[in-house]
Structure 1
């Protein structure tokens, strides 16, 4: 296996230069079309002073330019830093200050982003989604090693920004392990690339992986409206989708409103957040493919586990661990627990980053002797299937008992009237906290709070049953579709 991404990717692009590579706005780019844009970007970046160990900020939508820029950065020994276009000016300034980048490339249609860069005296250039890249001069930035390929920014549990440097080896290992694990990632297939590229799942699995395994990819700059995404899936002949549950729900809604079912689709991988099991039946009925749920973290490049195929999958689990990992489930004192017991998941392997970017304080305790503390409470069954119970920081303590919100949410979502549910803790002078549920109902459905509480009483231990139910029309979501429990708590406060 090649040791660097650009070596492996350019080798694939040279194998059959005329082969379709990227579907973009109704037509296919060949591998040579992409290679030509890579060469153009590389030349412009080199003239700007970009070189080994430097980082290029890229607050860009999914596009051929982002793909080409990434490969060009790697050719020059540097790294790409995808950023969230919707993070807001202050959020982007904090992140850019932390990353110490050489320069930034902003979308030509959003020149106002330059206002976020002005206080930082950060050089920038604007470009269209198809390129070319305009000439500019960067500032360098203190270089790091040439092994870093991508730097992802995340707020973590404190709300403060931190950065995760992912190496060439991390990404190559993870994409290779995913390809071995899932039998549907074959040459000639077409993967949907519509997840945000500043999220590791979107950048790596939806963007880099199809290039490495000679699949085509249909790039969408945005998933909204879902009707347009559905039509793109049909036109491009997409065979596989990698998505978060929110995107899957939007697609189901588009088909339910009369959109054409995509006949080419054969598999759907869901990650990034908990999955409502009811979505699987609807996906099979309306999209023609069931769901393979997986689990990962930015620090793991990102995939840790996924249901391998439709014959062996276990709904409600996030599948089995990729073969390049060692895993341990540890108890409160750090002791390794046997299968079937709940504990915090620790992982080790070549997909795991070595620590946070220039942040030894946050790295300490999370990265220990090659092991990474995911912070997630899980249960492994005797066949190796993983059930994620909850983030350790989101555990509710009710009368001294641990309550995992995801377990309660899963039960609530089994009720036929419930579309989506999220659970948070509410302070209580007697028990410390009580469980409160926020519920979105299915369209046209009706149920009372008491009926949902009684439903849970039949299926959960008494301390896990919601004591309050609030009906809402939407839940606070992050830019990657995850429920923000902190925002739920703040709402109630």
Structure 2
């Protein structure tokens, strides 16, 4: 037997009264989280849902998420976390594609009418049988959108004997963002997810007196799930929930709750630094570990953070298909800013060409990964799985170089590469250069169609507060600092850039 719910159960047994979750004024102990999860498991079993069945969960970073997540796992079923920004049609697609039998859906807010969208998606889906509402009002037993979880849990026992799942049983189906075609569900086993959390625990030092994690990364995403919630619970730490990242609120919570561990994407760090420099926000003094993933961190942000906070950001790398962590700048080894470090314990990485042939030396080449963290495959898509899997290796679509010490550095997504007049141009390289300009706060570079060159290079830029830099001035500066075929011929200034729920810049929208 192996069940991912062990990360909660062990901590509930060893430290039942220790605070597991902080949300607003609520401080919930491990014993309570485990008890409610047991009730959810009993509810599912009472509705005929058990080992091998799929259950969807659409919920932001609220206490409901771990209640339901671990309840589904305890019942032996598979969790299908859904992005809370999905529309009704997209929810129906995910329910059908995953073969979900039930949907737990947050009621939502006027700004995020998730309950309305979830109900419509549930009704449009073909095989989903049960719809449970997670009310916006705590403990409310009624909802206009359907059966409240609190009404459904009435009379359910707080004790449950966890299902005897096998290590290779699917614990979670994580859907890719769908940058090419329809989103695909990566099937991750109990072993995939649990070992990844164990390795994360081993990689990062524990703070004396216990750790406090700030959860701003969406828990429906692999990064937030594994590195923050699952590893935090495995350690018996306190996890402070923030439903939506906001730089000022994040910094205030770090100070108030004594946060020791923060994981975020580069734009989270950029936003917090901007808040500190522009508004004089207090710099938290308790932070001991800061990790970044999800996208490449600009060197200027890394330098600024270390100067401001007094600690460096440990950069890592992974994908939904790799549970997600695959490599990291690890303690005990030199940290190399701008790299994604070396493969984590039990994982191999190499560079390959389009024909799967290994590339020796520094590359560049596409990253391929093999190890305990690799998904079982895409749910119901054997052909799509075969495209990315070969003899246990998973090809990532990310182009990287590798130095003599075995540290990898992302060049760019293979699909983001711009081909201008026959020359290959990697947007990340240009973004790094642009962000060295004192008037540039954030930059995103994309290729746009061009009659003679095939593609032209366009930069979307957020200026630093108070800066008056013009398009012509920035292009002239870029021309002096980049090769003739690389510098942006088109510049557009914006106050904000489109981002995913996890904080990645949405380049497909910019295109």
Compute the TM-score of the two structures, normalised by the length of structure 1: 0.91
SS in 2 for 1:279: helix
Q: Does 1:482 align with 2:481?
A: no
State the match for 2:276 in structure 1. 255
State the match for 1:9 in structure 2. 8
CA spacing shift, 1:348–1:133, aligned 2, 3 Å? farther
SS in 2 for 1:275: coil
Deviations 1:232-261, CA, capped at 9 Å, x for gaps: 222221101111122223323443424332
Q: By how many angstroms is 1:133 displaced?
A: 4.1
Between 67-76 and 175-184, the greater mean CA deviation after superposition: 175-184
Deviations 1:2-34, CA, capped at 9 Å, x for gaps: 832123431232112122222222343222121
State the match for 1:387 in structure 2. 409
Unaligned runs of 5+ in 1: 137-143
Q: By how many angstroms is 1:338 displaced?
A: 1.8
Choose from 199, 209, 222 the match for 2:244: 222
Q: By how many angstroms is 1:114 displaced?
A: 1.5
The separation in 2 between residues aligned to 1:20 and 1:304, in whole angstroms, is 30
The separation in 1 between residues aligned to 2:171 and 2:390, in whole angstroms, is 23
CA spacing shift, 1:133–1:300, aligned 2, 3 Å? farther
State the match for 1:115 in structure 2. 120
Q: Does 1:135 align with 2:156?
A: no
CA spacing shift, 1:94–1:412, aligned 2, 3 Å? same
The separation in 2 between residues aligned to 1:8 and 1:191, in whole angstroms, is 15
Deviations 1:31-83, CA, capped at 9 Å, x for gaps: 21212212222222221221010111111112222112222211111111111
The separation in 2 between residues aligned to 1:253 and 1:128, in whole angstroms, is 35
Q: Does 1:207 align with 2:239?
A: no
State the match for 2:492 in structure 1. 470
CA contact (8 A) 1:187 1:215 kept: no
Give matches, 1:399-414, under 5 Å. Answer: 399-414=421-436
CA spacing shift, 1:186–1:205, aligned 2, 3 Å? farther
The separation in 2 between residues aligned to 1:62 and 1:172, in whole angstroms, is 21
The separation in 2 between residues aligned to 1:3 and 1:391, in whole angstroms, is 35
Choose from 315, 321, 329 the match for 1:293: 315
The CA RMSD over aligned residues, in Å, is 2.4
CA spacing shift, 1:389–1:73, aligned 2, 3 Å? same
CA spacing shift, 1:186–1:311, aligned 2, 3 Å? farther
Q: By how many angstroms is 1:183 displaced?
A: 3.0
CA spacing shift, 1:152–1:232, aligned 2, 3 Å? same
The separation in 2 between residues aligned to 1:48 and 1:305, in whole angstroms, is 41
SS in 2 for 1:464: coil
CA contact (8 A) 2:457 2:488 kept: yes
SS in 1 for 2:459: strand
CA spacing shift, 1:456–1:308, aligned 2, 3 Å? farther
The separation in 1 between residues aligned to 2:193 and 2:282, in whole angstroms, is 35
Q: Does 1:425 align with 2:425?
A: no
State the match for 2:160 in structure 1. none
Deviations 1:119-158, CA, capped at 9 Å, x for gaps: 226420113476664429xxxxxxx987111111223332
Q: By how many angstroms is 1:451 displaced?
A: 4.0
Unaligned runs of 5+ in 2: 109-113, 140-148, 154-164
State the match for 1:63 in structure 2. 62
Q: By how many angstroms is 1:465 displaced?
A: 2.1
The separation in 2 between residues aligned to 1:187 and 1:48, in whole angstroms, is 42
Deviations 1:448-474, CA, capped at 9 Å, x for gaps: 444434444454433222222222222
Between 20-29 and 73-82, the greater mean CA deviation after superposition: 20-29
The separation in 2 between residues aligned to 1:323 and 1:185, in whole angstroms, is 22
State the match for 1:319 in structure 2. 341
Between 30-39 and 379-388, the greater mean CA deviation after superposition: 30-39
CA contact (8 A) 2:10 2:234 kept: no
Between 370-379 and 298-307, the greater mean CA deviation after superposition: 298-307
SS in 2 for 1:175: helix
Q: Does 1:124 align with 2:141?
A: no
CA spacing shift, 1:206–1:323, aligned 2, 3 Å? same
Give matches, 1:116-195, under 5 Å. Answer: 116-120=121-125, 122=128, 123-128=130-135, 133-135=150-152, 147-184=169-206, 188-195=210-217
Deviations 1:372-414, CA, capped at 9 Å, x for gaps: 0101100111112211111111111123222111111111112
Q: By how many angstroms is 1:187 displaced?
A: 7.2
State the match for 2:143 in structure 1. none
CA spacing shift, 1:463–1:54, aligned 2, 3 Å? same
The separation in 2 between residues aligned to 1:151 and 1:79, in whole angstroms, is 7
State the match for 2:22 in structure 1. 23
SS in 1 for 2:214: strand
Deviations 1:427-484, CA, capped at 9 Å, x for gaps: 3333322222121111112334444344444544332222222222222222222222
Q: Does 1:52 align with 2:47?
A: no
The separation in 1 between residues aligned to 2:383 and 2:291, in whole angstroms, is 35
CA contact (8 A) 2:172 2:189 kept: yes
